[in-house]
Amino acid sequence: MKLSNWILLGTVLVAIAGCSSVKKEYRSYDSYPVRSGDLLEMEYTPQATTFYLWSPTADEVRVMLYDAGDKGHAYETVHMECSEDGTWKAKVERNLLGKFYTFNVKIKDKWMGDTPGINARAVGVNGKRAAIIDMTKTDPMGWAEDRRPELASPADAIIYEMHFRDFSISNSSGIKHRGKFLALTEKGTVSPENLSTGIDHLKELGVTHVHLLPSFDFASIDETKLRENKYNWGYDPQNYNVPEGSYSTDPYNPVIRIREFKQMVQALHKAGIRVVMDVVYNHTFNAKESNFERTVPGYFYRLKQDGSLADGSGCGNETASNRPMMRKFMVESVLYWIKEYHVDGFRFDLMGIHDIETMNEIRSAVSAVDPTILIYGEGWAAQTPRYSADSLAMKANIHKMPGIAAFSDELRDALRGPFNDNHKGAFLAGYPGKEMSLKFGIAGAIRHPQVKNDSVNYSKAPWAMEPSQMISYVSCHDDMCLVDRLRASIPGIKQEELIDLDKLAQTAVFTSQGIPFIYAGEEVMRDKKGVHNSFQSPDSINAIDWHRKAEHADVFAYYKGLILLRKLHPAFRMGSGDMVRKNLEFLPVSARNIVAFRLKNYANGDSWGDIIVVLNARKESIKQSVPDGKYVAVCRNGQINLQGLGMMYGPEVAVPAQSALIIYK
């Protein structure tokens, strides 16, 4: 038995089962009982409200009832009775609709402190007290008829990563509910130049999925002081199963934040766009005062040998997904967001902290509801997790997790340079030696006979079984956005070159066999004033300036053209490792900083014949050898037109400097 199973934050653990007819000593966390059924903690009817709390080491548990969500003292204390599986229960036989409550657990003569429970589904302002509501009253009109848009294959997904505040907070957005869930429900919003913004902009661009940065209730924003204009990305979990109050129009009203989140999902679905939630089960805002720790001390976190908290997240703690009740919590939480909120996908923050078994259980449970729901995540951790490396959901183990995808930092850093050095460039900056890493990403991180993994930047072996297990991207919220990174890594870069390389980068992303992913605003050349980590920067840094849509109309048109190209031509999204190996052939090139490939013979049933893609990062035009024949150019010299940009003839074609060429036979 591991010493860490015996030690809790430096104190020897001898847990006595307070919730049992027979006193029992739990000698390790693994021996704790697992609650049967679901983890519901409050069940409301007009006649009675029943409370439940899993706390097997408690000697006593009570529920405090309040009139308000943030002020005043409890007007009543209800003592809970121990029941089966370490669960406590209490029933109040009167109508408690509109009231609030907290739990408090007593262990070894110490009251642990008030919490809304680990599974609150409605809360008051700042999430300190859970709310008693009728969930059926939170549904917007037509909610029962809401349906997720069609998605034939995960390879068809095109993901747009967005922070609520960034997307809509600028006055130039023309949006009324700026920075709120409702911002994504407003139709007909325009920039000062009368160009579409908001949800109409997303429809015009053509993305299939909006990936929302954390939308659950997080701790880093004081919802009572929203006029102070505090900003955070939201990777500070507090209540995992409640929408964040600062994005609602009234954080004091627990019904409103729930209804407005549903309205947002409903509006995006009507626009043909699916919704992905960014979920952060790997750590909590803090450990000592967390709902987990105050309910069952030590159980939900991994500990070091000396009893201190492990910190694979780099945020002070890491959760123990491998423990049965944490695993059960994660599975139920994901299913709850699917069933109650109609969410269509999940991006797991620092997924490499979680264990493979848990992630596979989540995939299996989600697929039983709808196999088209996306699951992907960061295949790494911030620091080394306190768990066996071969059992963690790291990128290298993605082949053990069918139906789950990971981000390709191989492709990202091959294009723009390493994460840990903003000023160091790569392929886009004209640095040679990244071509094989780029090929690795274009093939979708699968085994391919022409990808020599000993020359790939991070992975010396393919890690995906299918290309749809790889997320293809060049930038996201975390790190510099693409414009800033190009400026930092190419000193003195001129605006024309910046635009050319931006387009070239995204051409690699969208012609990759992985699932393409872009950061909101990059289609209009957003920047963040060179800030590397803008998680607490003000709106002046993070907000998308919608004037840029007019200023960079050609860039927007190019991104839109790439999306349409991918949608209309299945050769770019074959979705099968075998198909990619059969139909994707890398072509010989004449110099460094060039990658060229052919999609052969109506790949995946495409209407075009052989398709040639050439990515030229050199500062001069090059000649590329291609199979002899007559071709139609659809992407050339920074322009995309699927109707054609003229004819070209093999066996050699010209490719302008710092640009992509796409032609078909």
CATH number at residue 592: 2.60.40.1180
Helix (H, G, I), strand (E, B) or coil at 215: coil
Distance of alpha carbon 159 from alpha carbon 463, whole angstroms? 21
Structural domain of 102: 3-138
Catalytic residue check, 114: no
Task: Give a yes or no: residue 310 inside a domain.
Answer: no
Q: Note the pLDDT of residue 602.
A: 86
Distance of alpha carbon 187 from alpha carbon 498, whole angstroms? 32
Q: Are residues 391 and 255 in the same domain?
A: yes
Q: Are residues 539 and 459 in the same domain?
A: yes
Q: Note the pLDDT of residue 632.
A: 98
Task: Give a yes or no: residue 465 inside a domain.
Answer: yes
Could you tell me if 321 and 350 are in contact, meaning their C-beta atoms sit under 8 angstroms apart? no
Could you tell me if 515 and 471 are in contact, meaning their C-beta atoms sit under 8 angstroms apart? yes
Task: Give a yes or no: residue 339 inside a domain.
Answer: yes
Q: Note the pLDDT of residue 1.
A: 34
Give the pair of three-digit tokens for residue 456.
């790939």
Q: Is the pTM of this model over 0.75?
A: yes
Q: How many CB atoms lie within 10 A of CB 563?
A: 22
Q: Note the pLDDT of residue 193.
A: 98
Q: Are residues 125 and 170 in the same domain?
A: no
Could you tell me if 571 and 559 are in contact, meaning their C-beta atoms sit under 8 angstroms apart? no
Q: Are residues 201 and 350 in the same domain?
A: yes
**Strand pairing of 594-599 and 611-616?**
antiparallel
DSSP per residue over 330-356, as a string? HHHHHHHHHHHH---EEEETTGGGSBH
Question: Of 495, 485, 480, which Cα lies nearest the Cα of 551?
Answer: 495
**Within a 13 Å sphere around the CA of 465, how many CA atoms are in the beta-carbon half?**
8
Q: Are residues 631 and 657 in the same domain?
A: yes
Task: Give a yes or no: residue 143 inside a domain.
Answer: no
Give how many domains the chain has, as a whole number. Answer: 3
Q: Are residues 484 and 433 in the same domain?
A: yes
Domain final residue, candidates 572, 602, 622: 572
Task: Give a yes or no: residue 314 inside a domain.
Answer: no
Rounded to the nearest 5 degrees, what angle is found at the Cα of 618, between the Cα atoms of 617 and 620? 135
Question: Of 585, 636, 592, 591, which Cα lies nearest the Cα of 611?
Answer: 585
Q: Note the pLDDT of residue 2.
A: 37
Task: Give a yes or no: residue 242 inside a domain.
Answer: yes
Any bridge partners for residue 375, and if so which?
346
CATH of the domain at 443: 3.20.20.80
Domain final residue, candidates 109, 138, 167: 138
Q: Please pick, among 114, 378, 466, 610, the residue that the annotation labels catalytic.
A: 378
Domain final residue, candidates 138, 169, 199: 138
Burial of residue 588 (CB within 10 Å: 0-12, 13-18, 19+) is exposed
Could you tell me if 112 and 104 are in contact, meaning their C-beta atoms sit under 8 angstroms apart? yes
Task: Give a yes or no: residue 393 inside a domain.
Answer: yes
**Strand pairing of 405-407 and 470-472?**
parallel
Alpha helices in 4-110 (DSSP H): none
Q: Please pick, among 161, 186, 293, 349, the residue that the annotation labels catalytic.
A: 349
Q: How many CB atoms lie within 10 A of CB 306?
A: 10
Q: Are residues 510 and 594 in the same domain?
A: no
Could you tell me if 101 and 129 are in contact, meaning their C-beta atoms sit under 8 angstroms apart? yes
Could you tell me if 43 and 130 are in contact, meaning their C-beta atoms sit under 8 angstroms apart? no
Helix (H, G, I), strand (E, B) or coil at 388: coil
Backbone angles phi, psi at 128, to 5 degrees: -85, -25
Q: Are residues 133 and 201 in the same domain?
A: no
Question: Of 243, 239, 267, which Cα lies nearest the Cα of 255?
Answer: 243
Q: Note the pLDDT of residue 3.
A: 34
Question: Of 250, 206, 207, which Cα lies nearest the Cα of 226?
Answer: 250
Name residue, tokens 């069933």.
339
What residues of the chain score a pLDDT lower than 50?
1-18, 21-23
Q: How far is CA 260 from CA 69, 147, 165, 458, 521, in A?
A: 19, 17, 15, 42, 24
Q: Are residues 328 and 362 in the same domain?
A: yes
Q: Are residues 208 and 270 in the same domain?
A: yes
Q: How far is CA 588 from the centre of its chain?
A: 37
Q: Are residues 621 and 565 in the same domain?
A: no
Say what the alpha-carbon torsion angle 26, 28, 30, 32 is, to the nearest 10 degrees: 20
Catalytic residue check, 43: no
Any bridge partners for residue 78, and if so which?
63
Task: Give a yes or no: residue 305 inside a domain.
Answer: no
Q: Are residues 357 and 474 in the same domain?
A: yes
CATH of the domain at 12: 2.60.40.10
**Strand pairing of 25-26 and 15-16?**
antiparallel
